Amino acid sequence: MSDLRYRIRGGTPLRGDITVSGSKNAALPLIAGSVLCAGETVLRNVPKLRDIEVMLEILRFLGADTSFQDGTVRIRTDRMVSKPIPVEYVGKLRGSIVLLGPLLARFGVAEMAYPGGCVLGKRPVGAHVMALVQMGAVDMSTEESLHLQGSLKPGRVILPEFSVTATENVLMAAALLPGETRIDIAAAEPHVQDVEKFITTLGARVEGIGTHTVIVHGQKTLSCSEHTVINDYLEMGVITLAALVTRGRVRIHGADPEQLTLFLDVLSRMGAVWKYDAAEKTLFVDGELSSLNATKVQTLIYPGFPTDLMAPMGVALTQAKGVSRIFETLFEGRMAYLYELEKMGAHVEVLNAHEALIIGPTPLRGRQVASNDIRAGAAMVLAGLCADGETTITDVRYIERGFDRLDEKLRSLGASIDRIEE
């Protein structure tokens, strides 16, 4: 396989207008949700990403017809079956776990090799299995494969943690069960809310959208529908930080600051200057007028500070005056990017697997650095944009699994970034 890299020459303030792409984290479960009905589902505003292509490949393996053109995915599911999904499909995509609920609800059986993807510490499948067993599934999994079967029943499901994908699995399974299913400890992220809205277009009724207690009134049969995927608030966050660290001025179209309340509040407290135009749905970020000061940032479940924006935020903190403390509460593998930042001259003290100090402001210098996962990769791009000299980022396949043409978008804002295939 060829090696994909970005080469960035830093120091250029980003300027101009940019439009946010559709959310991968919403599109993947929505594609899985097409399994719930027999007919054609149409999804619009779908980002063009490798992970999306893999999810569609899995559905084709199960007998669906799919097409993907100009941001619109069409899926016909009337001839679908449920059969064991081999590792060559699900091993590439941890997000394929969201097929468990829809397959189980419609066909009474779901079987797949263990899903793969990013290395973010242990992300066990236990929450999914526990939740679906509460709905009546029988767990027949082995060391080689996940295997659940049985006819599900509506009732009460208490999730063992605020798991986004486990919540989505239960929501989708519950949509196809006539009766009332109550989900406690439900995740409430914007992409979970998008799944909640999607199943209402299919004919289910949902109470408590965006809260941690959700009630689904399911139906025996659902009707396929059309749905527009929400924009990616994580991309909005990364572009906001890119404008700040390069001292640029960027107008972000298709932004919804309600999805990033605490993130934007933290930036305001640090001295970042931004304003939102509700009529135009644009967020204007003024890095020229901003002067960043150190702060404490702690990740939390939604609506707290998103774990997926902690690594890019770490780059901004290298440019802030004073000692910042970051506290990653959700994943133990998130701090690895700090060692890459240190190579570029950042002053970092890692206290433990979850906490670090970042002392700023420090000028960053161009180096060769690795992209450890999707979000760490985005952080390295930001570091390259504000570093002195040339930065080479390796393993950018990770970045391109999560961001739709990020290099092109940054180039449109004046960044010097080349995509190199070797």
Helix extents (H) in 36-116? 50-61, 87-90, 100-107
Q: Residue 97 gets which letter from DSSP?
A: G
Cα 146 to the center of its chain, rounded Å: 23
Measured distance CA(281)–CA(359) in Å, rounded? 35
Measured distance CA(86)–CA(44) in Å, rounded? 28
Order of strands, sheet of 249-253, starting from the edge strand that comes earlier in the sequence: 15-19, 249-253, 282-286, 273-277
User: Residue 280 corresponds to which tokens in the numbers above?
Assistant: 């135009």
Measured distance CA(352)–CA(248) in Å, rounded? 34
Measured distance CA(395)–CA(372) in Å, rounded? 8
Measured distance CA(421)–CA(5) in Å, rounded? 6
Q: Which of 240, 239, 238, 202 is nearest to 218 (CA)?
A: 202
State the number of CA atoms in the 13 A half-sphere of 409 facing the CB. Answer: 23
C-alpha R_g of the chain: 21
Catalytic one among 37, 118, 224, 386?
Answer: 118
Place of tokens 């599911």: 77
User: Residue 112 corresponds to which tokens in the numbers above?
Assistant: 């797949």
Distance between first and last Cα of the chain: 9
Q: Residue 148 gets which letter from DSSP?
A: E
Place of tokens 């659940």: 148
3-state class (DSSP) for residue 240:
helix
Amino acid at 309: L
37 is catalytic: no
Order of strands, sheet of 179-184, starting from the edge strand that comes earlier in the sequence: 156-158, 179-184, 213-218, 205-207
DSSP symbols for 249-311: EEEEET--GGGGHHHHHHHHHHT-EEEEETTTTEEEEETTT---B--EEEB-STTSB-GGGHH
Residues annotated catalytic, as ranges: 118
